[in-house]
Structure 1
Amino acid sequence: MKVIRPNVPPHEEPRGVVGGHEVSRATTGSENLFMGIFRLPAGAASRPHYHANCESACYMLRGQMRIRWGERLENVVELEVGDMLWVPPHETHVLENPSATEDAEYVVARDSPTEDAVEVPWAPR
């Protein structure tokens, strides 16, 4: 067992969101699980990406997010505090924070011990 405390400095993830503390292969040696807390600053958006070899689940802690997904990012869903979202593998998506003043904060769980994000440069924004 290992306790992961929230005193880790924030760090930018390759896809453009801010990571915090996490359970992962890097922090615990986990073989099949990733769980982390992320923040999307007010007015910010992630870069288009997908997760290659894992399913993801998101739980909104604070603020709101707009998720665009699909081949041309043509689908949209809005998340509020308490909402959960399931994302299948290889689903291209973008996270957007529509608030000009409040950061969005959320928990992500995956059936992979690593971040597993692949940026999609050809997807529209």
Structure 2
Amino acid sequence: MIVLDASRSILVHSEPGRRSGVSAATIPGTKITMQVLTVNPSETAVPGNDLDTETAAYIVSGRAQILSGKDFAESKDVGAGDFYFTPVQLPYVIRNPHDEPVKLVLAYSLDPSITNTPTGSKALNPARGVSVVPTPKDTSTTAQTRGMQRIAAISAETVGAKQIWMCYLSVNPHERGQPHHHGGTHTAAYTISGRARICFGPNFDDFIEPGPGDFAFDPPGLVHLVDHPFDDQPWRGVLARCPQNTVVNFGE
């Protein structure tokens, strides 16, 4: 039996030209996969998830078509800054008919039996087809932690997701966030630009420092904070959790 190390955040470097990131191979015991995928012009890629899982994705650069349905005849266009979601039991492929590569970050659960517990009337029924969520901007729709900004994109409220949650995340220079944890959820984040530190340990003296192209994984229950002690650009990335956005903050 593989036991996940719950005492620290884990840094995973992406491998240029390969589908790489957080997976059971790089972090044994994780319940979430988050990988970066590049689809070259005229190529078609298969996402790789089990049909019992939902998928959430963010387009980092380029444009693509998400094909699903009978004979993959149903098409949704996505471009840089868009998120998309697919429900369970929906085979689909990612096609790039354009002249430039498309780069995306794809996330899904490795344990589809773990589902969220939506409350109230905001929770939607799961989408039946591919849902495209253009670049979201509203920070009021999800829990926040001082020192960072989460902008929810894929959730129970937006697309009826039950297994996966995904947001755009940013941290400004010289921000040191408050300590917090995410309950029983498994969390993975991909750095688009900038750099920051995820600090943990008894006095938050231990840290990892993800930069562009890097992944960070936070195990369930790990108390940590995000620190941006640098003078350069904000840290920007996308973050996914299985199965929902649980946030427990400490302090003011």
Per the TM superposition, whether the score is higher than 0.5 is: yes
Give the Cα separation in 1 of the matches to 2:179 and 2:222: 10
Deviations, residues 3-42 of structure 1 (Å, cap 9, x unaligned): 1101x32527521211235111121110010111101112
Structure 1 counterpart of 2:159: 28
| Shift in Å, 1:88 | 0.4
Contact 2:194/2:232 (8 A) holds in 1: no
Give, as a single letter, the amino acid of the residue that structure 2 aligns with 1:117: V
Matched, 1:76 2:204: no
Structure 2 counterpart of 1:2: 131
Matched, 1:43 2:174: yes
Contact 1:70/1:91 (8 A) holds in 2: no
| Shift in Å, 1:53 | 1.7
Q: TM-score, normalised by structure 1?
A: 0.85
Give, as a single letter, the amino acid of the residue that structure 1 aligns with 2:238: V
Contact 2:144/2:150 (8 A) holds in 1: no
Give the Cα separation in 2 of the matches to 1:56 and 1:67: 13
Could you list the runs of 5+ residues in structure 2 that have no partner in the other structure?
1-129
- What percentage of aligned pairs have identical amino acids? 21
Give, as a single letter, the amino acid of the residue that structure 2 aligns with 1:27: T
In 2 relative to 1, CA 119–21 (structure 1 residues): closer, same or farther, beyond 3 Å?
Answer: closer
Give, as a single letter, the amino acid of the residue that structure 2 aligns with 1:68: C
Give the Cα separation in 1 of the matches to 2:238 and 2:225: 16
Matched, 1:100 2:228: no
Structure 2 counterpart of 1:61: 192
Q: TM-score, normalised by structure 2?
A: 0.44
Matches within 5 A, 1:110-121: 110-113=241-244, 115-121=245-251
Give, as a single letter, the amino acid of the residue that structure 2 aligns with 1:100: D
Could you list the runs of 5+ residues in structure 1 that have no partner in the other structure?
none
Give the number of the structure with larger relative contact order, counting CA–CA contacts within 8 Å between residues 6 or more apart: 1
